[in-house]
Chain A
Amino acid sequence: MAGYVLQRLGQMLLTLLAIATLTFFLMHAIPGGPFVSERMLAPEIATALNDKFGLNDPIWLQYLNYLRGILTFDLGPSFRYPGVTVNEMIADGLPVTLRTGVLAVICVVALGVPMGIVAALNRNKWPDTAVMMLATIGVAIPSYVIATILLYVFALRLGWVPTFGLDDWRGYILPVFALSGFWISFVARLARSSLLETFEQDYMTTARAKGLRPGQVLFKHGLRNSLIPVVTVLGPVVANLITGSFVIEQIFALPGIGRHFVLSITNRDYTAIMGITIFYAALLMVMILIVDLLYVWLDPRIKLRKTAQ
């Protein structure tokens, strides 16, 4: 187990190195430096700025410096906001993004799984039809459309929730729902089909035949086994929440990392783009590792061995 985790961590570092290299050279392939703008800088100032940020160094030295920065959790200064570091930008946006993200994951599990169970237990009856209809709608409509429709109906027309900001708890309702809508539907569909498949397994018949109460059969034998596919998608859920937050944070004007990221793209703030990308990648890989470990705990048939292949 420990060996497996170590091996995975090593792989993660390798992947992170690849992503850091890719983003570094991509950003440096863009013509023009970060201080080239319509307003001409005095040559002395330009040289001083380039010296300060080490932009006159040969590219390999800049690259090594950048890698060293990542290893020491220092993502460098922002090129657009003087005096602000990328670390500060992330630290500034993280609480908001994390809060909405965690609430969204809770929504996905707490709404999606029960919806799937209800649908599976009432197969081809009205609760099943209703859940599947909702789930199809949720999977097909893009998050930004859901967000704008929610905003229009509940904030503008009905006035139940504020249109932007997170001043009180009601401000969280729409962003969290818009963020998790797709995955609630996806998990509901997945839980339903997985549960239906589990019901047909022989061990379920055995459990029923030996006289276990229906509740015990469902929760101890059915649910635990059918939740494995659901756990698998939790990794992608996190990825989706990250990319979803770009647009959700923009629509609802939330000061999270996603908004910083989109802003730094429009501002062409290259260090911020690189830094946030690497941060996202690292966050995702940690999440996927956690999901993989959860997997083993849920399904003892899966054994983690040191070599994957």
Chain B
Amino acid sequence: MNPEPIIAPSMWEKPDRSTTAGEAIATPSLTYWQDVRQRLWANKPAVISIGFIVVLILAAIFGPLISPFSYFEQNLRLSNIPPVFETYRVSDDTGNNTRFFLNASNFNLYQVSEGGQVEGLLRGGRKDILKKRQGFEFGNTDIVLDYSSRPARLLRADGTTLRPEGWQWNMTYVFGTDQLGRDVLVRQLYGARISLLVAFVATLVNFFIGIFYGGIAGYIGGKTDAVMMRIVEIISTIPLMLYVILLMVVLNSGLISIVVAIGSVFWVDMARMVRGQILTLKQQDYVAAARTMGAGTGRILTRHLLPNSIGPILVTLTMLIPSAIFIESFMSFIGLGVTPPMASWGTLTSEAVETMRAYPHQLFFPAAAISLTMFAFNFLGDGLRDALDPRMRR
């Protein structure tokens, strides 16, 4: 195998000028946007990402409304319940069956219905702390929970070990519960709401401040441009996250503060990009034509220049949205974001880190949610960039 690039054999051949076939139009002509749409639909990861984002938005809006739980409702008797568990079955003399599972990290037994609904904590006898055992009575059948050795075992009265009957999905708390017995799924959906709210705000600021700031600076040029761009330069010298942190210190943590903080600095990248676009576009003949026909600055900007740079604007936007979502979850992770009992993917992850050894499922779901969302926006951004780039046209 020769991995080094060589000169392709075709480059040594003489160009074939005998036919004019190359000049015939082979494909039906499409408008730019038809072409873009076609290329975007052909990009599988981007299409899947769009689907994911739509599902996420719908779930975030409607999920908490139809969920029987709320994000702040605590049930300490049902804390740290996993999303999937191994069930045991005990029958007593009257033929009653009891189905339950053992939470191997806090040594509690929880009763489960046949359908997999968690029905409650099973009350046992006194815990023998020294011998590390606890008795449970099911009618006349006695079961002893022995947690003196790991893993904990359930013993019958005759000393034999009770065997689990199989795995069961948690049908009450699909994603389990956290250390305060709150439903993880509904908290995740609240986290999605917050992330999407932040994404929405970032989009708005980019549209209303970033684009016009950059547009005005680029179009007017001269001293105005120099001053406006120097301000942007000063802001973007240090990471945006540092400003967001400083603003959060001033405004105190909370959902509104983080939205304000992200909103107030998140437009600078867009402003820069738009200015660059406008600088190249304003030399075009159609701008001169519009000006001779008497169009004002505002009209030229909004009717001619900005619509023509919509492609790069869209791409920049899909790249900025995940970074806004990331900053929110990052801030919440280090304790500067939303305040409890509000849930964000960042706070959910940082809470789960504390109990990671015993309950890794609490870490898995928020980490997966934020990662999948970032994936979706990244793939969509890549797809859009490829679709909007005329050079990619085949």
Contacts and interface: CB of A to CB of B under 8 A. Distances in A.
A145 B349 contact: yes
Contacts of B34: none
B370 interface: yes
Nearest to B231: A18
A122 B2 CA distance: 10
Interface stretch (B16-24, B137-145, B150-158, B330-338): B330-338
Nearest to A204: B5
B374 A15 contact: no
A208 B7 contact: yes
A280 interface: yes
Interface in A183-219: 199, 204-205, 208-209, 214-215, 217-218
B239 A19 contact: no
B353 interface: yes
Nearest to B244: A243
Contacts, number: 117
A152 B346 CA distance: 17
Interface stretch (B170-178, B209-217, B245-253): B245-253
A218 B249 CA distance: 50
Interface residues of B, number: 44
B107 to A, nearest CB: 20
Nearest to A239: B239
B237 A285 contact: yes
Contact of A145 (B336, B360, B371): B371
A273 B11 contact: no
Contacts of A139: 378
Interface residues of A, number: 52
A284 B235 CA distance: 13
A208 B363 contact: no
Contacts of A225: none
Given A140-B375, A140-B378, A145-B367, A251 B353 contact: yes
A140 B371 contact: yes
Contact of A156 (B3, B242, B350, B356): B356
A19 B5 contact: no
A37 interface: no
A238 to B, nearest CB: 10
A240 interface: yes
Contact of A142 (B247, B326, B357, B360): B326
A66 interface: no
A29 B249 CA distance: 11
Interface in B367-393: 367, 370-371, 374-375, 378-379
B26 interface: no
B240 to A, nearest CB: 9
B327 to A, nearest CB: 9
**Which 5 pairs, one residue from A and one from B, show the smallest C-beta to C-beta distance?**
A214-B4, A140-B374, A140-B375, A239-B239, A145-B367
Given A144-B349, A148-B352, 5 more contacts: A142-B326, A205-B11, A277-B242, A281-B242, A284-B237
11 contacts: A122-B3, A136-B378, A145-B349, A148-B349, A148-B353, A148-B363, A204-B5, A205-B11, A243-B330, A262-B334, A281-B238
